Amino acid sequence: MKTSALLKPADREEAEFLEKLDPKRLPEHLAVIMDGNGRWAERRHLPRIAGHRAGVKAAREVIETCARLHLPCLTLYAFSLENWRRPQAEVDFLMRLLREYLKRELPTIHKNNIRLLVIGRSEQLPEAVRQDIADAMRQTARNTGMKLVVALNYGGRAELADAFNALLDHVRANGLSAFRADEQTISDHLYTAGLPDPDLLIRTSGEMRVSNFLLWQIAYAEIYVTEALWPDFSRARLLEALVDFQKRERRYGGLASTRGRAHSANGSGNGQPAHHPSRSKRG
Ligand code: FPP
């Protein structure tokens, strides 16, 4: 099947990217650092919150496009642990925006068989936000289509600390003095347990940083940085990033002809990626 059968191009640019896209080699997990809402607003002499509103529109379009292309998993970095340092009014606005978004979009998300997941220290979020998230996750729990993962009050190092503490609790509770952790054990204790690692990480607004996002999981991800500010990250820009991803040669530390990672530190030593055997198809 061609991608243009999944997605109707709105213009010539989209049609050209769609033509180049191989639907069988799309990422299994696309992770996105949405950056530049504030700058987008400043350039228009608008308040920062106008940038966030425009950012929600861009997020909606990306979610819809990924779902139509049947991407298995999309993760959006919506609020970091560090974002509490912003002015209280902006933080409050972002929380309100998220609740508004869930209220408005949940029926569409559900209708499209999308499963919503939230990762991060959600116990520190305002009670009303936690309630809405829990309801949305419950409502979509049985959906079998794309997993939409929203990183909220998320930090990569905090996630690793939480995973190590969960492991230590397990060891203490079971008196496992000889216990040793391997890569799989650690992955299984991350917020993203059970999800494939991202194979593509997109960051908007030109910054060359990973900003404490999915530090463990992006070990082998392709990184795509675009100058576009998040509110300008249109469907065409997403398709362009996917086309670029498909041009990359993925070697996992091996040679061009090697399929899969050369050595897996989890001890299986079978030359396949430790957690995602399906990746070996892509080299
Ligand atoms: C970055 O812009 C964006 C954020 C802090 C996250 C907020 C994201 C949205 C509102 C998009 C919608 C998401 C969902 C899941 C509904 P910035 O403020 O860091 O921009 P700047 O770097 O230009 O100041």
In a domain, 117, yes or no: yes
The C-alpha atoms of residue 207 and residue 203 are separated, in whole angstroms, by 7
pLDDT at residue 276 in the model? 44
Mean pLDDT of 260-274: 40
75 lines ligand 1 (CB under 6 A): no
Whole-number pLDDT of residue 277: 36
Does residue 45 lie in a domain region?
Answer: yes
> b/e string for 206-245 if b means 16 or more Cβ within 10 A?
eeeebebbbebbbebbbebbbebbbbebbbbbbbbbbbbb
pLDDT tens by residue, 84-106: 999 999 999 999 999 999 999 99
133 lines ligand 1 (CB under 6 A): no
Distance CA 141, CA 129 (A): 18
What is residue 261's predicted lDDT score, i.e. its pLDDT? 47
Nearest alpha-carbon partner for 65 in 137, 131, 146: 146
Tally Cβ neighbours within 10 Å of residue 254: 15
Q: What is the pLDDT of residues 78-89, one digit of tens each?
A: 999 999 999 999
* pLDDT for res 6: 86
Band the pLDDT of 279: cuts 50, 70, 90.
very low
List CB contacts of 11: < 8 A, sequence separation 6 or more.
236
Active-site annotation holder among 35, 132, 197, 199: 35
pLDDT of residue 26: 97
Does 256 have pLDDT greater than 80?
no
Q: Please say if 266 is a catalytic residue.
A: no
Measure 47 CA to ligand 1 centroid, in angstroms.
13
For residue 48, how far is its CA from the centre of ligand 1 (angstroms)?
A: 10
Count of domains forming the chain: 1
Q: How confident is the model at residue 4 (pLDDT cuts 50, 70, 90)?
A: confident
Residue 146 belongs to a domain = yes
Distance from the alpha carbon of residue 98 to the mean position of ligand 1, in angstroms: 11
Q: What is the pLDDT of residue 253?
A: 76
Q: Is the dihedral of CA 53, 215, 150, 264 positive or negative?
A: positive
Q: For 216-254, what is each residue's pLDDT tens digit?
A: 999 999 999 999 999 999 999 999 999 999 999 777 777
Nearest CA to ligand 1 atom 6: 78
- Rg of the chain in Å (alpha carbons): 19
pLDDT score recorded for residue 251: 73
**CATH number, domain with residue 98:** 3.40.1180.10
Residues 97 and 85: their CA atoms lie apart, in Å, by 18
Q: Cβ(26) to ligand 1 under 6 A?
A: no
Instruction: State whether the Cα torsion 157-244-73-13 is positive or negative.
Output: positive
Q: Vertex 112, ends 109 and 117: CA angle to 5°?
A: 45
Domain presence at residue 12: no
State which residues form the domain around 51: 26-156+195-247
The token pair that represents 126 in the structure block: 């305002």
Residue of 70, 74, 73, 72 lying closest to 6 (CA atoms): 70
Q: What is the pLDDT of residue 143?
A: 98
Whether residue 280 is contained in a domain is answered as: no
Token pair for residue 113? 């068989």
Q: Does a structural domain hold residue 109?
A: yes
Q: Ligand 1, atom 8: nearest CA belongs to which residue?
A: 78
Contact 75, 198 (CB under 8 A): yes
Is 143 part of the annotated catalytic residue set?
no
In this prediction, residue 271 has a pLDDT band, given cuts at 50, 70 and 90, of very low
C-alpha span between 281 and 261 (Å, rounded): 11
Cβ atoms of 47 and 2 within 8 Å: the answer is: no
| CA–centroid distance, residue 23 to ligand 1 (Å) | 29
Q: For 133-150, how does the pLDDT look when each residue is reduced to its tens digit (9 = 90+)?
A: 999 999 999 999 999 999
Atom index in ligand 1 nearest the CA of residue 90 equals: 18
219 in a structural domain:
yes
Substitution candidate for ligand 1 out of 32, 33, 43, 52 with most atoms within 8 A of CB: 52
Q: Which token pair is 100? A: 């508004």
Q: Assess if residue 119 is contained within a domain.
A: yes
Does the beta carbon of 91 lie inside 6 Å of ligand 1?
A: no
pLDDT digits (tens, 9 = 90+) for 188-205: 999 999 999 999 999 999
Task: Answer yes or no: is pLDDT of 269 > 90.
Answer: no
Instruction: State CA 47 to chain mean position distance.
Output: 27
Q: Is the CB of 55 under 6 A from ligand 1?
A: yes
Helix (H) or strand (E) holding 147: strand 147-154
Q: How many CB atoms lie within 10 A of CB 249?
A: 8
The pLDDT score that the predictor gives to residue 257 is: 52
Q: What is the pLDDT of residues 151-181, one digit of tens each?
A: 999 999 999 999 999 999 999 999 988 999 9
Ligand 1 centre distance from Cα of residue 2 (Å): 33
